[in-house]
Amino acid sequence: MTSPRLIIFVLACSAFVNAQEREVPKDSERVSIPGCARGRTLIVGTRADEPVRSDVAPGRRFRLSGPKAILDQIKKQESNMVEVTGLVRKSQLAGPGGVSTAGGRVRIGGGDPRQALGDPGRDVGYNEAVLDLESWRPLPDACKAR
């Protein structure tokens, strides 16, 4: 009699443990990034009191994608720094493409095909990577005014 109950209990516990964190796809990476949120855009910043081990350079922009409730909570924290955790595609995390030559940058590819004649290097949204938001936490540091 106790063995079916034990089996059900173990299965329920294992399902709960597996539901804690979703699996990272092969083409993505889970990152935790400190920064300042402006609407649905996160601008990467640095923390003075904590060394951060990240390949993401300060000033880089990420467009936040996720549940509306979490995005609304982050929007209320625009004057304070936040640390967001989520999934980013590895190809977007690498930064803008191109080959460095003679102090300049040559881009392979182009801008948004819907955009009229323009410079993709000046388009703010061109270099924004999409971060699929999983969680966030407030940080004690304040964001710099624009």
Domain limits of the chain? Answer: 25-110+124-142
25-110+124-142 adopts what CATH topology? OB fold (Dihydrolipoamide Acetyltransferase, E2P) (2.40.50)
Please tell me the least confidently modeled range out of 27-41, 46-60, 62-76, 95-109: 95-109
Percentage of the chain modeled with pLDDT above 70: 60
Higher pLDDT, 116 or 140: 140
- Res 110: pLDDT: 55
Output 26-30 pairs: Cβ under 8 A, ≥24 positions apart: 27/89, 27/90, 27/91, 28/87, 28/88, 28/89, 28/90, 29/87, 29/88, 29/89, 29/90, 29/93, 30/85, 30/86, 30/87, 30/134
pLDDT at 66 over 60: yes
Q: Count of residues for the chain?
A: 146
- Res 59: pLDDT: 84
The secondary element (H helix, E strand) that includes residue 127 is none
Cα–Cα distance, 54 to 47 (Å, whole number): 12
> Looking at residues 138-142, what average pLDDT do you find?
88
In this prediction, residue 138 has a pLDDT band, given cuts at 50, 70 and 90, of very high
Q: Look up the pTM and report it.
A: 0.65
